[in-house]
Amino acid sequence: MFSRKEFDLVQALISRAGDIVTRDELMRDVWHTTFWTSSKTIDVHLGWVRRKLGDDSRRPHLITTIRGKGLRFETRPPA
């Protein structure tokens, strides 16, 4: 079962599946703020979500991190 923030994070990513969602967009859409001092909030919640979805953080196939850009909910299975 997801917490409210975990659910909101997954929803924000799924609603834009296939697109890169920036951390700024996630902070605005999920945490309703434009001010943040650390990306650890997103990282911690993302870790919990990946664990609950069975998405290996070392080789994720559902939610991938696009270095320097953001996160993407994948629409295709890994090659």
Residue 50: CATH number of its domain? 1.10.10.10
Within a domain: 33: yes
> In the chain, how many domains are there?
1
The range of the structural domain enclosing residue 20 comes to: 4-73
One digit per residue, the tens of pLDDT, for the chain of length 79 reads: 999 999 999 999 999 999 999 999 999 999 998 776 677 899 999 999 999 999 998 899 999 999 999 999 999 877 6
Q: Hey, how many other C-beta atoms are within 10 angstroms of the C-beta on 72?
A: 19
> For residue 79, is it within any domain?
no
Q: Is residue 17 assigned to a domain?
A: yes
78 occurs within a structural domain: no
Do the beta carbons of residue 71 and residue 21 sit within 8 Å? yes
User: How many residues does the structure list for the chain?
Assistant: 79
User: Is 49 part of any domain?
Assistant: yes
Structure confidence at residue 37 (pLDDT): 67
Cα 26 vs. chain centroid, distance in angstroms? 8
